[in-house]
Amino acid sequence: MGKLEGKVAVITGASSGIGLATAKRFVAEGAYVFVTGRRQAELDAAVKAIGSNATGVQGDAGNLADLDRLYKAVKTQEGRLDVLCANAGIGEFGRLGSITEDHFDKIFAVNVRGTLFTVQKALPLFIGGGSIILTGSIAGIKGYENFSVYSASKAAIRSFARTWLTDLKARNIRVNVISPGPVETGVFDQLPPEAKEYFVSMIPRGTIGQPDEIAKAAVFLASSDSSFVNGVELFVDGGTVQI
């Protein structure tokens, strides 16, 4: 029997990268997953890659109507929710002095506003406890150049976990944060070679993280193995922020 046997999970931003790897791991451990993505073609490909026990619901985490449609599908099909991975997020560089309103609004709309309402709108579907996993970033505690708005948005995610676990303690819903370090995803691939070398150089083991390594940590936080783990920020970064 898998660690998530019979569980119903929602994973936002799961068309690729960490979200897709997490969906695959969850299904392998016995869960049924609802996955979201902004682009229908990529979402369809992700559902096909997951292979079974998955439903794709196209939508943007920053769009409240899309979230309503997502949870309506969950309620209609499964009637409840056990695990929520609020994973959808975006990141862009912006140097202080040239940051625009559009840059700020775009990042906070998805990473902060979107995460808040992704969680809040899911709450009526949680019955008898559950696990909420927020995707943070080591950028939330590091001072990376030209990354201040993104970093601030991820620091807000960390704060959400601390306050929400107290809001939800009477319902036995745990809230934790996974904060990845540099991971080989589409975003990393877009960086110039010198930027890639810089980020990899900070990882003690000397190699980039893989999406499945983050997914394994998500399985832990979603399962009863972590029943006494609540409100933590779990750094899955190869030790980058510890040295």
pLDDT in tens, 135-168: 999 989 888 887 899 999 999 999 999 999 999 9
Instruction: Give me the CATH number covering residue 51.
Output: 3.40.50.720
Q: Is residue 108 part of a domain?
A: yes
Tell me whether residue 144 is in a domain: yes
CB 214 within 8 A of CB 235: no
Please name the residue ranges forming H helices in the chain. Answer: 17-28, 40-50, 64-77, 101-108, 115-122, 148-167, 186-189, 193-201, 211-222
146 falls within a domain: yes
Amino acid identity of residue 19, one-letter, is G
Q: What is the pTM of this model?
A: 0.95
- Within-domain flag for 47: yes
Does 94 have pLDDT greater than 90?
Answer: no
Look at the chain and report how many structural domains it folds into. 1
Determine whether 198 is an active site residue. no
CA gap 217, 222 in Å, rounded: 9
243 in any annotated domain = no
Residue 62 lies in a domain: yes
Residue 225 domain flag: yes
Q: Is the model's pLDDT at 190 over the cut of 70? A: no
Write out the residue range of the structural domain in which residue 96 sits: 8-237
Of 32, 71, 150, 198, the active-site residue reads 150
Structural domain contains residue 155: yes
